């Protein structure tokens, strides 16, 4: 007996609670997909776990050997390493990247959605690290941490659009990786780490001067750090979006070849 109209009408497609928390439109849909990928993909989970391990590595010698200055390095390292979480997203997508390209969503929105997701995932960890060290010069420390974090977000999404590398599928061992494009991976990884450090130099200098007694320079470090970070993040999203708009076909073919 075939189902009647009532039974057909009873079928509904229900979204998750996550969808209710995200903004509507294309950006919200992209954020939802990226959050699900990062929850289910073991490779991306390992990236976040690497950030979680940083403060613990610094905390042990700080407590056992009295080297409290290492606590200052923890939030800065977490900020810089955020670039490694933001980069290589297209490579991780693999064949799913075709769906994104066919959706014809403006590339700048796609980049912005990914940056926001990485910020939501790494921001709380950065905040926890800052709480531990905020007994020192608060404005200067925020400048040398939040500024590089924003630079790392922008740099990572730009690197992601420039180079794609061979990565193991989500179900493969985490240590497996093709070496056919190791030069591209090395260049992208170096830029991901170096650019946030370069962006951090001005607020670091101002923080050091503030720590030596010039307290007003701590606020200057905060302002400089936020300005550099905001410009770098915005610039990275825009440059990455423009590149994706120009090179989507080439990127799709490259990712498909390297995930085969």
Which whole-number Å values give the CA distances from 20 to 17, 25, 101, in the listed order? 5, 12, 25
What pLDDT sits at residue 154? 96
CB atoms within 10 A of CB 100: 18
**How far apart (Å, rounded) are the C-alpha atoms in residues 92 and 168?**
8
**How far apart (Å, rounded) are the C-alpha atoms in residues 40 and 98?**
19
| Residue ranges per structural domain of the chain | 22-258
CB atoms within 10 A of CB 75: 29
Residues ≥6 apart with Cβ < 8 Å to 43: 92, 167, 168, 170, 174
**CA Rg value for the chain:** 21
What pLDDT sits at residue 9? 40
pLDDT (tens, 9 = 90+) of the chain, 260 residues, equals 444 444 434 333 345 676 677 887 778 888 988 898 888 888 888 888 888 888 778 777 777 777 766 777 888 889 999 998 888 888 888 777 887 777 778 889 999 999 999 999 999 989 888 877 765 557 888 899 999 999 999 999 999 999 887 766 665 544 444 444 567 778 888 999 999 999 999 999 998 898 887 878 989 999 999 999 999 999 999 999 999 999 988 888 888 776 65
How remote is the C-alpha of 87 from its chain's centroid?
7
What pLDDT sits at residue 259? 60
Q: What is the DSSP letter of 217?
A: H
* Element at 75 (helix H, strand E): helix 70-86
pTM of the full predicted structure? 0.84
Q: What is the DSSP letter of 24?
A: S
């Amino acid at each position: 007996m075939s189902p009647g109209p009532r039974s057909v009408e009873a079928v509904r497609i229900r979204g998750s609670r996550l969808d209710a928390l995200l903004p509507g439109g294309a950006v919200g849909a992209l954020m939802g997909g990226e959050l699900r990928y990062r929850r289910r993909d073991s490779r991306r989970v390992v990236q976040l776990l690497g950030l979680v391990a940083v403060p613990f590595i610094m905390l042990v010698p700080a407590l056992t050997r009295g080297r409290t200055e290492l606590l200052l390095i923890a939030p800065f390292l977490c900020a810089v390493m955020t670039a490694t979480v933001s980069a290589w997203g297209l490579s991780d997508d693999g064949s799913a990247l075709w769906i994104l390209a066919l959706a014809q969503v403006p590339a700048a929105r796609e980049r912005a959605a990914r940056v926001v997701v990485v910020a939501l995932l790494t921001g709380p960890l950065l905040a926890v690290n800052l709480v531990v060290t905020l007994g020192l010069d608060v404005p200067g420390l925020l400048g040398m941490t939040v500024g590089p974090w924003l630079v790392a977000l922008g740099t990572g999404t730009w690197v992601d659009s420039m180079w794609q590398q061979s990565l193991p599928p989500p179900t493969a061992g985490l240590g497996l990786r093709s070496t056919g494009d190791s030069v591209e991976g090395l260049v992208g990884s170096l830029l991901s780490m170096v650019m946030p450090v370069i962006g951090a130099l001005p607020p670091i200098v101002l923080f050091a001067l503030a720590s030596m007694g010039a307290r007003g320079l701590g606020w200057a470090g905060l302002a400089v750090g936020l300005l550099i970070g905001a410009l770098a993040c915005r610039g990275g999203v825009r440059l990455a979006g423009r590149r994706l708009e120009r090179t989507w076909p080439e990127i799709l073919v490259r990712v498909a070849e390297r995930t085969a």
